[in-house]
Structure formats: structure tokens, C-alpha cells
Amino acid sequence: MPTIRDYGLVPGHLPAGPRNAITDVPGVRVGHTTVDAGSHHTGVTVILPRQDIYNHRCTAAAHVINGFGKTAGLVQIQELGQLESPIALTNTLNVGLVYDALVQYTADACAETGGKLRSFNPVVGECNDGTLSDITDRVIGRREVFHAIETASPDFAQGCVGAGTGMICHELKGGIGSASRMVKVAGRDFCIGVLALCNHGQLSELNILGRHVGAEIRRRIQGEPRPEDKGSCILVLATDLPLSSRQLGRVCRRCAAGLARVGSYWGHGSGDITIGFTTAHDIHRGDAAEIATRAVFNEDKLDPLFLAAAEAAEESVLNALAAAVPMVGYDGTVCHALSEFADLLG
């Protein structure tokens, strides 16, 4: 699984974590189910913040960069500042079935411990893979979501896997990408990690660390250019820094800078959304205390976190492009991959 660093390109200045992925945040795991056969090039990717997120909620936030999207669960996150669900990513028309699967999985988990699920806020993000996959078949359901959850790991594949299987980024093959940045605070190392589902952008605007390679790629593939930036990018930001929901929202907003560095201007038809959480707080469902005391970051010291979010988001998109492989869609559409033009990156 190549990354952009395998081409000798190192985005940003801050140090990456040991995996250079969202799972450098301790406890975070990622799982995929890929459906790549016949007319279906699609899947689901699930990000698990901790082992039991329903009973041990995380402080959370969400930022809508451009709202052309069908994401579920953001309203309650924005209202309460808490996350109680795994975050699942899939294609546009599968949001309802994946939502249902998260409900069933959580209901089953509650039943195993003698509880009963009465309310739950599943979080599902989506991008449209209908150019390469027959999206109307809606082939992602409980079996696929359960498998992604049960096989989740700190080590996970990137590129054309899971929800990223049929995605297109800057008119090249897109998919799943991830990166992380480490920041030192009060003598301790903390992590900001990003996972991006990349299905956005125009080839003409593609910027890879100052290399504007789109014109030459267009000349080689001789395809018709996409007239607008559309298709969506969902970014999931994780950290172990002690941030309030409001502070986390500020950090999430800086992911937009990462998208812009690669050349996206989040056009009218691009649903670009960041969902963020921190594992620093354990908001236990059984806590009866009326007043909760939690550590919160110094507001005047947030700048390094903003830079870390921008760098991790930028490299996540570049890693999705670097890890992807060419694909022929269900109707014969050919989607080239950045790896075919590696000579332009040297």
C-alpha cells in the first residue's frame, strides 16, 4: 500500500505518528468491508473511537464545510457535543441501511449485557460512488457493517477499500486515506489523526506539494474534464487532546485548509464535512453526577493543533490518491490512478 511519502514527498512540517494514520490515537480502530465484484465497487468503513463507545461516550464536534451531503447523526453531535456511536462511511444510497445496521449492532451489544436500547444516535457519512458502482442496488447491509466492526484494527488498508472502493478524487481514482501529526504539550506527546473518504475535486486544480500535474495528466489520458468540483469528502478527525466540543469544532474547521492545499474549493456539488472526537474524556452513561469536571486545553495555545489538522487532512487526501489503483466501472468507465503518472512526482 504505497503512500505519498513513497514518492519522496513529505507534506507539512510536523512529525507524523508511528503509523501515520488516525489509529495513532490510542484506542482508535478502523475496519473495512469491500464489495468489488461485477457491477458493484463499493463498501463500508467504520471508525471505532474505543471499545464501548455507547456507554463511554467521547466529546465530539462536527463542521460542515459545504452541506451537499446526506450524512446522518450530525444534529445531535452539534447539540450535545458527544459521540455515542462508531462512525460509518459508505455510499450515498446506503446511508439508511448502514444506519440500521449500527442500531442493530448496538441493540445486540446492549442485550448481551442485560440492557435494552431505547435511544441511539448512529453517525454515518457518505460520498457518491455511482460513477463506478451500480449504486441503486444498495448492497451494503448488516452483514457488511458487522464485519467491518468485528475486524477493525489499528492497522488498516488505504486506497480502494471499504467505503473508498468506488470513489474518484480530482478525477483520478480516490478512496480512503489517513495521516497523523504529533504535538508536544506540557512535556507530553499527543496525536491528531485524520481519515478521509475522498471523492471530490477537479484534475485541473490538483496540487501535490506545489506540483500542478493536472494539465499533463489530462493530456495523457485525453478524457473530458469534469466541469466542476463535486462528489464530496468526509473527514474524520480523532485526537487524545483534552478539548471541549467547541474547541474540537475549531480544530475540525482547519481540515478545510488541508483540502484547499490539494486543490479543492469545495464546490456547489461537493458535500465536505468533518466529524471530530477526542478520547481524552470518558463520558460514562451511568454517571449520575450533576457537575462533571474535565480537563480543557488552553484556548490561547490552539495554533499548533490547527496546523496539525490541516497537515493531516492534506496528507490523508494525498495518501488516498497514492494508494489507489486504476478501476473500470460497471458501465465501462475507466478511472486512472495517480500511480500511473509517478514520473510527474519526481
For 143-199, write each residue's pLDDT tens digit.
Answer: 999 999 999 999 999 999 999 999 999 999 999 999 999 999 999 999 999 999 999
Look at the block and give the residue holding cell 454517571: 287
Catalytic residue among 133, 178, 180, 232: 232
Categorize the per-residue pLDDT at 7 as very low, low, confident or very high, splitting at 50, 70 and 90.
Answer: very high
Active site residue 343: no
Calculate what percentage of the chain has a pLDDT beyond 70. 100
Question: 176-190: per-residue pLDDT in tens?
Answer: 999 999 999 999 999
Mean pLDDT over 125-152 rounds to 98
pTM above 0.95, yes or no: yes
Categorize the per-residue pLDDT at 80 as very low, low, confident or very high, splitting at 50, 70 and 90.
Answer: very high
pLDDT in the model for residue 239: 98
Mean pLDDT over 288-314 rounds to 93
Instruction: Write down all domains in the chain, each with its CATH number in brackets.
Output: 13-285+293-324 (3.60.70.12)
As beta bridge partners, residue 58 has: 83
pLDDT in the model for residue 334: 95
**pLDDT at 288 exceeding the cut of 90:** no
Question: 14-62: per-residue pLDDT in tens?
Answer: 999 999 999 999 999 999 999 999 999 999 999 999 999 999 999 999 9
Catalytic residue among 244, 264, 270, 316: 270
pLDDT in the model for residue 225: 79
Active site residue 244: no
Active site residue 39: no
Mean pLDDT over 100-125 rounds to 96
Rounded to the nearest angstrom, the gap between the alpha carbon of residue 161 and the centroid of all alpha carbons in its chain is: 13
φ, ψ for residue 187, nearest 5 deg: 80, 5
Lowest-confidence segment of 108-117, 224-233, 254-263 by average pLDDT? 224-233
φ, ψ for residue 185, nearest 5 deg: -130, 125
Question: 225-258: per-residue pLDDT in tens?
Answer: 777 788 899 999 999 999 999 999 999 999 999 9
pLDDT in the model for residue 109: 96
**pLDDT at 110 exceeding the cut of 90:** yes
Closest by Cα among 294, 326, 16 to 175: 326
Considering the chain, what is the average pLDDT of its residues? 96
Q: How many CA atoms lie within 13 A of 42 on its CB side?
A: 30
pLDDT in the model for residue 1: 84
The set of residues, in sequence order, having a beta carbon less than 8 Å from that of 96 and lying 6+ positions away, is none
Closest by Cα among 294, 341, 303 to 322: 341
Catalytic residue among 178, 272, 316, 339: 272
φ, ψ for residue 259, nearest 5 deg: -60, -45
pLDDT in the model for residue 90: 98
Q: Could you give the CA distance from residue 261 to residue 250 in angstroms, rounded to a whole number?
A: 18
